[in-house]
Amino acid sequence: MKTIGYIIQKEFKQIFRNKGMLPIIFILPILQLVILSNAATYEVKNIKFAYIDYNHSSTSRALIERFNASTYFDVLTDFPSQEKASAAMLSGQVDVVLEIPNNFERNLLKEKTTDLSITINAIDGAAAGVESGYVNQIVQSFNKDVKMTIIETSKKVMQPVSIESIPSFWYNTTLDYKTFMVPGILVLLVTMITLFLSGMNIVREKEIGTLEQINVTPIRKSQFIIGKLFPFWVIGMGLLTIGLILAKVIFNIPMLGSLILLYAYTSIYILVILGMGLLISNFTDTQQQAMFIAWFFVVIFILMSGLFTPIESMPKWAQLITEFNPIKYFVEIVRMVLLKGAGFMDILPQMAKTLLYAIIMNGLAVWSYKKVN
Amino acid sequence: MKKENVIVAEELTKAFGDFKAVNAISFEVKKGEIFGFLGANGAGKTTAMKMLIGISKPSSGQATVAGFDVYTQTESIKKNIGYMSQKFALYDDLTVKENITFFGGIYGLSRAKIKEKREQLVSELGLENISNKLVGSLPLGWKQKLSFSVSLLHEPKIVFLDEPTGGVDPITRRQFWEMIYKAADQGTTIFVTTHYMDEAEYCDRVSIMVEGKIEALDTPKKLKEQFKVDSMNDVFLKLARNIE
């Protein structure tokens, strides 16, 4: 125990003495959180909106006024006919065309139901999806009895899509993408910093020759490894804390669940990452190699984590791979706990898998660390 | 007076594939002896030493260091030896004092003992004024002396020095050897590799390795008689030439 204390003391001294590393550890993640959270958004703004009003009633004008009032839509013009509207869409002047039929007001009053038709330029599928969501929201809030038919067009095909369900958004009712992204990016920075630091730390001692000196001392493998990794575990937890504070202060992210639960999960999660870092440094001889390998894994883990693209929309084989992605579990947990207020039993499956992962990773790492070769 | 052997090697071999870096070397080192382990670059000195200090597993042969087996008791060996590598291996980003504290701690010395050793060492080396400076800022000669002292911190039975005076000026080399003598006087066995033949003259006994084998082993005086030359330098050249 005492021996571990000496190593921890030494590591902290070295970390805080390294003037080049300190800002990388603490300032870059903060910048990342602030910049990425604002930039990585699915929000589509300034949608070029046009309409064809065959009805010319007060109801139809009121509906259009709703679009006018929305910050997402720039209401451009009204077109006298569908042909003109289609031509404008083909030339890219218009993203969304709303077509209000002749009998719009009358049907709504008499039959308590009516139809609308929406045409959306779907060349950018993701944007089109978001746009249709916005339109839907506005129309539904205007009058629940309006039935819409959305036609998403690309330049080649017109595909009619009829929307039957009325969407209601739970947990993130305002569909604020920051609420969704900030917890995810928090995961990223905790992961990246701890993986890179731990991955390069032991290999650095290999490079400068001090590891050999350590290996001729009677220190036990476990003492050395615990002493080496503990400071990075502390840094990881520190980053989580800084990130949570920023999330609350700058982005006002809701924190419905128990923070203790989140910390408990993170403390296990960081062990996975540290084990991985150690494993990398056992199999590399230079910091450069370690950096490249760590980077390789981080990129795959991030892109397959469900942070930017939903895992549900990945092919089956890719979904299988994500089962081995620790970042995926952390992203799920952070969102579940912060946004949904998930409790211990809710996150138990992820927690158990992460714990198993931590045991395997660290087992492999300790096993592959050799004092004698 | 018959002294006990603290290092015994029999047919010790390390092979990397077909290449035998160390080829069946046998020798003994007695307690308190200064044993010079000579050889050209690439002769296998460092490889042999790594097997003795327990960080490299021998391919075949036997050896004990401080009475412990190099195959099965490497951790016990490590408690009883000090090691100073070719490459400077203290932490450049820690101060003189912090390095001493750290290595003392790793060897399991008590807090009081570390403090005592730290003060003793700093005053012996005359480092009082710079004991709170980062080791990286010290000149090489001081670093090497510090590094030697640190390897003696836990009062090991044997200390292994791998080219300790490489790149060091003559005055510092002399001081360094005075430190070696002092340690040997206190009963520490010194196992040292060097390329300086004048240093070889300082050793009690010398072995010369050529291409993985020990070609000569005796006191410097007897080696000079055996090869009918005046200096260790000529002994070394003769051996090396024979091979070519």
Chain B residue with Cα closest to A221: B75
Contact B108 A3 (CB under 8 A): yes
What pLDDT is recorded for position B144? 92
CB of B53 within 8 Å of a chain A CB? The answer is yes
Q: In what order do the strands lie in the sheet with A114-121?
A: A73-78, A47-53, A96-100, A114-121, A146-153, A158-162
Which of A9-13, A109-113, A250-254, B104-108 comes out lowest in average pLDDT? A109-113
CB of B71 within 8 Å of a chain A CB? The answer is no
Q: Residue A243 contacts by C-beta under 8 Å, 6 or more apart in sequence?
A: A29, A33, A186, A189, A190
Q: Residue A334 contacts by C-beta under 8 Å, 6 or more apart in sequence?
A: A183, A184, A186, A187, A262
Residue A311 DSSP symbol = G
* pLDDT digits 0-9 by tens, B125-137: 988 899 999 999 9
What pLDDT is recorded for position B148? 94
What pLDDT is recorded for position A214? 93
Report yes or no: A199 and A365 within 8 Å, Cβ to Cβ.
no
For the domain with range A47-162, which CATH number is right: 3.40.1710.10, 3.40.718.10, 1.10.1060.10, 3.40.50.2300? 3.40.1710.10
Chain A residue with Cα closest to B14: A373
Tokens 């490079």: give the residue: A207
Tokens 């095909």: give the residue: A157
* pLDDT digits 0-9 by tens, B140-193: 989 999 999 999 999 999 999 999 988 889 999 999 999 999 999 999 999 999
What pLDDT is recorded for position A95? 85
What pLDDT is recorded for position A75? 83
What pLDDT is recorded for position A312? 84
Question: Rounded to whole angstroms, what are the CA distances from B206 to A105, A306, B28, B39, B175?
Answer: 109, 67, 11, 10, 21
Mean pLDDT rounded to a whole number for chain A: 84
**pLDDT > 90? residue A110:** no
CB of B75 within 8 Å of a chain A CB? The answer is yes
- pLDDT band for A170, please (50, 70, 90 cuts): low
Residue A167 DSSP symbol = -
Task: Kindly report the number of other CB atoms within 10 A of residue B126's CB atom.
Answer: 10
Q: In what order do the strands lie in the sheet with B5-16?
A: B19-30, B5-16, B60-65, B68-69
What pLDDT is recorded for position A146? 61
- pLDDT band for A175, please (50, 70, 90 cuts): low
CA-nearest of A229, A238, A227, A246 to A263 is A238
Choose the most confident range, by mean pLDDT, from A28-37, A125-134, A156-165, A215-224.
A215-224
Chain B residue with Cα closest to A208: B89
Q: What are phi and psi of B186, to 5 degrees?
A: -80, 5
CA pair distance B3, B47, nearest whole angstrom = 27
CA pair distance B23, B174, nearest whole angstrom = 33
Helix, strand, coil tally for chain A in percent (to 5): 65, 10, 25
Q: Residue B244 contacts by C-beta under 8 Å, 6 or more apart in sequence?
A: none
What pLDDT is recorded for position A48? 87
Task: Kindly report the number of other CB atoms within 10 A of residue B169's CB atom.
Answer: 12
* pLDDT digits 0-9 by tens, B28-47: 999 999 999 998 888 889 99
What pLDDT is recorded for position A161? 37
Within 8 A of B94 by CB-CB distance, chain A residues are 10, 13-14
Residue extents of the structural domains in chain A? 2-40+175-368, 47-162
What whole-number percentage of chain A has pLDDT above 90?
36
* pLDDT digits 0-9 by tens, A270-289: 999 999 999 999 999 999 99
Task: Kindly report the number of other CB atoms within 10 A of residue B34's CB atom.
Answer: 22
Contact B106 A7 (CB under 8 A): yes
CA-nearest of A157, A364, A124, A334 to A244 is A334
Task: Kindly report the number of other CB atoms within 10 A of residue A185's CB atom.
Answer: 24
What pLDDT is recorded for position A163? 34
What pLDDT is recorded for position A279? 94
CB of B108 within 8 Å of a chain A CB? The answer is yes
Count of A-B CB contacts under 8 Å:
73
- pLDDT band for A160, please (50, 70, 90 cuts): very low
What pLDDT is recorded for position A173? 52
CB of B94 within 8 Å of a chain A CB? The answer is yes
Mean pLDDT along residues B69-77: 93
What pLDDT is recorded for position B243? 58
CA-nearest of A96, A83, A365 to A225 is A365
CATH number, residue B156: 3.40.50.300
Q: For residue B180, give its domain range.
A: 5-243
What ipTM score was computed for the predicted complex, to two decimals? 0.90
Within 8 A of A2 by CB-CB distance, chain B residues are 105, 108
* pLDDT digits 0-9 by tens, A65-99: 888 888 888 887 788 888 888 888 888 888 888 88
What pLDDT is recorded for position B244? 53
Contact A209 B87 (CB under 8 A): yes
What pLDDT is recorded for position A180? 78
- pLDDT band for A164, please (50, 70, 90 cuts): very low
Token pair of B195, please?
Answer: 């390329």
Number of domains in chain B: 1
CA pair distance A137, A57, nearest whole angstrom = 21
Distance, C-alpha A284 to centroid of its chain? 31
Q: Positive or negative, the Cα torsion across A252, A254, A260, A261?
A: negative
Chain A residue with Cα closest to B93: A14
CA–CA min distance A287, chain B (Å): 17
Give B98 or B238, the one with higher predicted confidence. Answer: B98
CA–CA min distance B34, chain A (Å): 20
Report yes or no: A206 and A214 within 8 Å, Cβ to Cβ.
no
